[in-house]
Amino acid sequence: MFNKIWRSKEQSNFSIEYTKEDILRQPVPEHVAIIMDGNGRWAKKRSLPRAAGHYEGMQVVRKITRFASELGIKVLTLYAFSTENWKRPKSEVEYLMKLPEQFLTTFLPELIAENVNVRVIGNSNQLPEYTRRAVEKAIQETKHNTGLILNFALNYGSRAEITYAVKEIAKRVQQGDLTAEQIDEEVVASCLMTKDLKDPDLLIRTSGEIRLSNFMLWQLAYTEFWFTDVLWPDFTEQHLLQAIAEFQRRGRRFGGV
């Protein structure tokens, strides 16, 4: 269908542009995961505080969520705050912790109207009470929605997730509910935070970094990766179409021929 390889640029100068109709001629990925990177650099380039970049990034989340729903994507997982992000300056962490409350408070009526189901993976125990309260409210008020699953990875780290899964399996063995011989990939997957979700088909990372940064290490085993130099606040619907177009060109054999 497509005969040109598109290489992303920091500016929105596409070598080839796609429409929603172009993309919908072929199956779209069911589960798209995004490492939203580059908010701070976006702000620095404009001599703005880093908080300004995070605010702009939040607006992009709203736009991309809406568009993903229009495309028929079933799950959109967004890496919002990692377990390593606590190392950032206190003022920046405090601002980042307020963003879910701000985003979900203003966006929740639209999420409900658009039939979006909000979910969260990560350790919520360390989150401030106001953040937990906003997240729990969004989960509760959208739990019966049957459209796009908007899954935030909040205070999430894949190694911590896998460590928890190992402990849970060890507990089951200790209690006699499971034998060592019964432990297989399905058992491990059933103990992960994403146990009710299909593994991602497509991973997008913005800002030019080419690494996973402790994100869904188990789940991304056979995921297609798409990296772009575009900073997250500059990410547009066209960038998402470009990523999906590249995904549609690839042959996914899962180790077969």
Question: Catalytic residue among 39, 85, 117, 151, which?
Answer: 85
Question: Catalytic residue among 3, 22, 37, 39, which?
Answer: 37
- Distance between CA atoms of residues 239 and 100, nearest Å: 24
CB 168 within 8 A of CB 187: no
CB 90 within 8 A of CB 121: no
- Distance between CA atoms of residues 199 and 196, nearest Å: 10
Continuous segment of H or E residues that includes residue 165: helix 158-174
86 DSSP 8-state letter: G
- Distance between CA atoms of residues 39 and 62, nearest Å: 15
Residue with tokens 């939040």: 58
Continuous segment of H or E residues that includes residue 79: strand 75-82
Q: Is 85 a catalytic residue?
A: yes
- Distance between CA atoms of residues 172 and 66, nearest Å: 41
CB 148 within 8 A of CB 68: yes
Q: Is 117 a catalytic residue?
A: no
In one letter, which amino acid is 56?
Answer: E
Continuous segment of H or E residues that includes residue 153: strand 149-156
Among 207, 170, 201, smallest CA distance to 187 is for: 170
Task: Return the axis-axis angle of helices 50-71 and 237-249, rounded to nearest 10°.
Answer: 50
Instruction: For residue 9, give Cα distances in angstroms to 2, 14, 139, 242.
Output: 19, 8, 36, 12
- Give the active site residues: 37, 85
